[in-house]
Structure 1
Amino acid sequence: MMKRILRASVTVCTGLLLCTILLAGCIRIVKDGGTTVPAATPTTTPAPPMILITLERTPCFGTCPVYSLKISGNGAVVYDGKDHVKLKGVQETTISAGAVNQLVLEFENTGYFSLNDSYTKFEITDMPSANTSITIGRKTKSIKHYYGDRSAPKQLTELEKKIDDTVNSAQWIK
């Protein structure tokens, strides 16, 4: 009998303790003037969205440089030279976060997300392609751009050049 009473007392005390803890989280703090504000809750800063920019230059029937670039949001750059380049294989470097942000702005100013997914008409043969993509968080867009397709907007070619210029890919190509 004594054990039951003791067990009931422990159960009641534990229940009261849990209720007290739960109620403490709901307390409102009264400031001067009598208005109540919710108790402070911890805030977290959301992580910046993942950013990945890619550029791939494909072969032509001549000596066009063939390579790819990957640029991460933290500024990490990975170059992979394949053919008709000064340096074949993987090279790595970094660019500033500001340079990455500037590239993202270039994509936005180009209207990249509203462009066609491909410009691949063979109006002129023997030309290379430049394939680009950008990922911002969960949003990704890729464009295949064959240089023999005259319908491709000039801004797309300028964006491709801007990517090369930003990472100084000439150091590995020429």
Structure 2
Amino acid sequence: MRLFLLLLLATLLGAGSAPAQNLLADKNKAKTKTVLLGREPAKGKLKVVTKKPAAAKPATKKVEAVPVIVFKRTPCFGTCPHYEATIFSDGHVTYIGYRYVPLTGPHELKLPVATVNTILDEARRLNFATYEERYSQGSTDLPATILSIRQPNGQLKTVQAEEGTPPELEAFMKSVAAEIEKVSGGTTAADR
């Protein structure tokens, strides 16, 4: 119908009729019809575009940098707090509480940037990259504390501690847990 009206309009204007061209305008296969009026394409071009309604664009995702600290506490056969926290350099924390914590499910939290920097400075002071990947003596009912720190070379160094952990590393992991638990509401478990 539209094509007929355009051709009628072109005839009435005295330009004569010209063939219509169907072009694919985009990946949605919307149709673009171009009708040439007259012999000089630069002057007498009339372009009518018919498109399908554009789909709603998805909400733009927040582009996040890579995490600088990832901290996890695993479950045990008792009431050990079970959660994980992914910390970014701006203090943004993606937290998931599983069991025996006041905050369960996924949450977005915030740590002061100074706290994040203090944790990273302490990791450098302890030379965190030199610790073994796992400290375990074979017990099966102990929870693990897993700490990953982004190193200056961009690699993520991960240490899993169950038992037999060097005292300075154990104290460091407890201090990281304490900072996370300040913003997540602590733990509900009596045995940590």
What band does the TM-score fall into relative to the shorter chain? 0.5 to 0.7
The letter for the 1-side match of 2:142 is: M
- 8 Å Cα contact 1:119/1:145 also seen in 2: yes
Partner SS, residue 133 of structure 1: strand
Q: What stretches of structure 2 of length at least 5 have no aligned partner? A: 1-64
Kindly tell me: are residues 169 and 101 of structure 1, through their superposed partners in 2, closer, same or farther at Cα, counting changes over 3 Å? same
- 8 Å Cα contact 2:83/2:99 also seen in 1: yes
Instruction: Identify the residue that residue 86 of structure 2 maps to in structure 1.
Output: 70
- 8 Å Cα contact 1:56/1:132 also seen in 2: yes
Instruction: Identify the residue that residue 110 of structure 1 maps to in structure 2.
Output: 126
Give the C-alpha shift of residue 98 in structure 1: 1.5
Instruction: Identify the residue that residue 157 of structure 1 maps to in structure 2.
Output: 170
- 8 Å Cα contact 2:68/2:89 also seen in 1: yes
Percent of aligned pairs with the same amino acid: 27
Give the C-alpha shift of residue 109 in structure 1: 2.0
Aligned counterparts of 2:71 and 2:123: Cα–Cα separation in 1: 12
The letter for the 2-side match of 1:173 is: T
Give the C-alpha shift of residue 115 in structure 1: 0.6
- 8 Å Cα contact 1:131/1:142 also seen in 2: yes
Structure 1 residues 121-132: aligned runs within 5 Å: 121-122=137-138, 124-132=139-147
Kindly tell me: are residues 114 and 63 of structure 1, through their superposed partners in 2, closer, same or farther at Cα, counting changes over 3 Å? same
Aligned counterparts of 1:50 and 1:119: Cα–Cα separation in 2: 26
Aligned counterparts of 1:145 and 1:164: Cα–Cα separation in 2: 13
1:3-49 CA-to-partner distances (Å, cap 9, x unmatched) read xxxxxxxxxxxxxxxxxxxxxxxxxxxxxxxxxxxxxxxxxxxxxx9
Which piece of structure 1 moves more, 162-171 or 125-134?
A: 162-171
- 8 Å Cα contact 1:74/1:97 also seen in 2: yes
Instruction: Identify the residue that residue 98 of structure 1 maps to in structure 2.
Output: 114
1:86-106 CA-to-partner distances (Å, cap 9, x unmatched) read 221012221222111101011
Aligned counterparts of 2:173 and 2:183: Cα–Cα separation in 1: 11
Residue 56 (1) aligns with residue 57 (2): no
1:36-84 CA-to-partner distances (Å, cap 9, x unmatched) read xxxxxxxxxxxxx955101110111111111001110111012110112
Aligned counterparts of 1:112 and 1:136: Cα–Cα separation in 2: 9
Normalized against structure 2, the TM-score is what?
0.58
Residue 171 (1) aligns with residue 185 (2): yes
Partner SS, residue 69 of structure 1: strand
Kindly tell me: are residues 69 and 57 of structure 1, through their superposed partners in 2, closer, same or farther at Cα, counting changes over 3 Å? same
- 8 Å Cα contact 1:51/1:136 also seen in 2: no
- 8 Å Cα contact 1:58/1:66 also seen in 2: yes
The letter for the 1-side match of 2:82 is: V
Instruction: Identify the residue that residue 89 of structure 1 maps to in structure 2.
Output: 105
